[in-house]
Amino acid sequence: MIQVALAVVVLVVTYYLAGVARRVLGRRIARRFKRPSVTRTVLRGIQTTVLVLGGIVALQVLGLRIGNLVLSVTVFSAVAGFVLAPIIGSVINGLFILSDQPYEIGDMIYLSDEDIYGFIEDITLRYTKLFTLDNTFLVVPNGSIQERDVFNYSAEDARTRLSLDVQVTYESDVAEARRLIEEAARSVDAVIAGGPDIRIGSARYPAGPTCYIEAFADHGVNLRLRYWVTEPYKLLTARSQVQTAIWERLPEADVEIAYPHSHLFFDETSGEMRVNLTDGTDGTDGRRGPPPSPGREGDAPPGPPETPDGERPTDGTDWDPPSGRSED
């Protein structure tokens, strides 16, 4: 009973020492690595190591030898290896994430396969935590996030370039349309109006909004506006403001936004088509419908037969409608 009490005391002291070690070494490690994710991982490792050592001491107090403990751990690892394989894979991928630095705590990322925007909250050896823009908490295992397309919007430069396609008719003043579109984009506060060129790799691009002729499409001239926003956190809001400004300026000039339409031309190469125009009535009550067929109940009897010259007899002779039988 005394050994159990001593083991419990050892575990309590070890837990306290683990917390003290994390608080004491926190600032030194943060200054050493200068990356929040690596700092947190190292501190977790130190805390876990202290706890494991305390656990070993507690087991020795209980009289359990290290050799027996190692044997038990070996057998358990062999049995649970298949179960722990995904966790081990996530840990290995976590090491790659920490070394490759695809994103850092506080960065805004975009998961293209799930159409999710979010901010990195924490990076561990097993998973990555992020808060989405819908105020939901998402935990992604490092094994799966390594296989996804992750877009980092705030890794080094928070400025983000957006594109907007505007199609105008061929009858519009294209030069005036380009000028108005660029002017509309500059009027939005979140858009960078100008300044030194922005460098991406070895290339440089204009900082101000620029409108290009992208293509001559079927229904009009496709103009592509490229502009930079100061922050990536409200991309949809900035895009909507730019489109609203363009919508308000284009009607002031000889510019019309194109929409799908077709013109039909007929000439001597178009062929011929027979067309029969009728009034669409049956000749009785004025209702539209096909003419009545003879022989049905309620139909009027057929008129007198026509003479060979196409006229009906007018001599007043009686005429009996045909009965459909021939007499000998």
DSSP-derived letter for residue 293 is: P
Domain at 108-152: CATH code? 2.30.30
Take residue 88 and report the two structure tokens written for it.
Answer: 């081990």
Q: Are strands 160-168 and 137-141 parallel, antiparallel or unpaired?
A: unpaired
CA angle 119, 122, 127 (to 5 degrees): 105
Element (H, E) at 140: strand 137-141
110 and 150 Cβ atoms separated by less than 8 Å: yes
Residue-range domain boundaries for the chain: 2-100, 108-152, 160-252
Class of domain 160-252: alpha beta
Give the predicted TM-score (pTM) of the model: 0.56
Tell me the C-alpha distance between 203 and 48, whole Å.
Answer: 47
Element (H, E) at 168: strand 160-168
Q: What is the pLDDT along the chain (328 residues), one digit of tens a residue?
A: 777 777 777 777 787 777 777 777 777 777 776 667 667 777 777 777 877 777 777 777 776 665 555 555 565 565 556 556 666 777 777 777 777 778 888 888 898 888 888 999 888 888 888 988 888 889 988 878 877 888 888 777 788 899 999 999 999 899 999 999 999 999 999 999 988 888 887 888 899 999 999 999 888 999 999 999 998 888 899 999 999 999 998 887 888 888 887 777 777 777 676 777 776 555 555 555 555 555 555 455 555 555 555 555 555 555 555 554 444 4
Take residue 168 and report the two structure tokens written for it.
Answer: 């105008």
Domain at 2-100: CATH code? 1.10.287
DSSP-derived letter for residue 324 is: S
Quick check: do 2-100 and 160-252 share a fold?
A: no
Instruction: Give exposure, 188-203, as e/b (b: 16+ Cβ within 10 Å).
Output: bebbbeeeeebeeeee
Burial class (CB in 10 A: 0-12, 13-18, 19+), 2: exposed
Burial class (CB in 10 A: 0-12, 13-18, 19+), 238: buried
Signed CA dihedral, 42, 43, 45, 49: sign only = positive
226 and 238 Cβ atoms separated by less than 8 Å: no
Note the pLDDT of residue 273. Answer: 67
Note the pLDDT of residue 203. Answer: 86
